Amino acid sequence: MIFKIMTTIVFIAEIIVAYTILKKLLAFDKLVIRTNEALMGIKPEISYIGCLIKKISAQYVEFAYDFAEKIHVKSDEAIVTQLGKLVIAITLLRFNSKLIRKILISKPFKMLRKGLSLLKYVV
């Protein structure tokens, strides 16, 4: 008799557990269906955003290439300009070394150099 009562209790417990599991699965199924419908509703927008991202990334690559090319050209121009200035400076130094030495040791130039140094530290 106790065996029959225990078997009945276990059977009822299994039915309750199965009912709870089925109820949760049905609720989860409804959630999945609603999520799927929402995703299907926004699928065209997602596709449109993907196309926009693709176009933007293509433009970014093109702009980056143009920017790198401009930097390269400008750096070449800057090097040529600096070399030109260096050649002019060396030429002037060779021709006017005595005059430049006199200018460097003159009082106004020393005062100007001190003023610029002070200005650099103040600013």
Each residue of 58-89: pLDDT tens digit?
888 888 788 888 877 777 777 778 878 878 77
Q: How many angstroms separate the CA atoms of 100 and 98, rounded?
A: 5
Q: Which residue has the tokens 């600096």?
A: 82
Each residue of 22-32: pLDDT tens digit?
999 999 999 99
| Angle, CA 121 vertex, CA 120 and CA 123 arms, to 5° | 65
Of 34 and 114, the structure prediction assigns the larger pLDDT to 34
Contact (CB, 8 A) for 8 and 14: no
Question: Distance of CA 38 to CAs 16, 32, 50, 91, 123, Å?
Answer: 33, 10, 18, 77, 60
